[in-house]
Structure 1
């Protein structure tokens, strides 16, 4: 499940991505084969952390399983 990380909150990507030009036709992030196509993968601090991406708009998106 993808979530947008904001200081001390988790937001649904649909709440943030609706206005993004990089989002798909349904207003969701371009997630394809376990990779965020509209952002870049950030380095992990530890294996215990979920994968985090920085999208083109500057938001951090995490893949929480």
Structure 2
């Protein structure tokens, strides 16, 4: 599941992505084949955090299970 991180608080992508021009037709982040297509991976060395991305609009997106 993808979440948007505002500080350390996760929120649903529906609250942010529906107004984004880069979102898919359903207002969700463009997630394809295990990668966020509308952002870039944030590299974090040695941390045991969920995989995180920086979207084109400046939000942090995390993949949590």
Interval of TM-score (by shorter of Structure 1 and Structure 2): over 0.9
Gaps of 5+ in 1: none
**Are 2:40 and 1:19 aligned?**
no
Q: What is the total number of aligned residue pairs between the two structures?
A: 65
Q: Which residue of 2 aligns with 1:38?
A: 38
Alpha carbons of 1:50 and 1:8: their partners in 2 closer, same or farther (altered >3 Å)? closer
Structure 1 residue 45 displacement after superposition: 3.4
| TM-score (norm: length of structure 1) | 0.92
| TM-score (norm: length of structure 2) | 0.92
SS at match of 1:53: strand
CA RMSD of aligned residues (A): 1.1
- Output one character per residue of 1:25-49: Cα deviation in whole Å (capped at 9) or x when no partner: 0000000011000000000233521
Q: Which residue of 2 aligns with 1:58?
A: 58
Q: Which residue of 1 aligns with 2:8?
A: 8
User: Structure 1: how far apart are the matches of 2:46 and 2:28?
Assistant: 27
